[in-house]
Amino acid sequence: MADGSIVKEAALRYQRRRPRPLIPVSRDESMEQSESSTTPLSLEQRTTESFTTVPTIQTLRRPKFVDRQLQFRNTAFCLPFIQCKFHTREAKALINTCVLSSIINRRLYQDLFFEEASFQAYDMARGVPFVINNRLIHFDFIIRGDVPDLVLGLDFFTQLECALDFGTRQFIVRQDPQVSTTLLCERELPLRYRNVHNLLASF
Asked if 193 contacts 148 with a C-beta cutoff of 8 angstroms, the reply is yes
Can you give the pLDDT at residue 58?
Answer: 66
pTM of the model: 0.61
Contacts of 51 (CB under 8 A, 6+ apart): none
40-78 burial, b if ≥16 CB within 10 A, otherwise e? eeeeeeeeeeeeeeeeeeeeeeeeeeeeeeeeeeeeeeb
The yes or no reply on domain 81-202 and CATH 2.40.70.10 is yes
Asked if 150 contacts 84 with a C-beta cutoff of 8 angstroms, the reply is yes
Can you give the pLDDT at residue 5?
Answer: 74
Can you give the pLDDT at residue 187?
Answer: 87
Can you give the pLDDT at residue 158?
Answer: 95
Please say whether the dihedral angle defined by the alpha carbons of residues 152, 154, 158 and 164, taken in this order, is positive or negative. Answer: positive
Enumerate residue ranges in the chain where pLDDT < 50: 197-203
Q: How many helices (H) and strands (E) does the chain have?
A: 6, 9
Can you give the pLDDT at residue 59?
Answer: 66
Structural domain boundaries in the chain: 81-202
For residue range 71-87, list pLDDT tens digits in order: 555 555 789 999 999 98
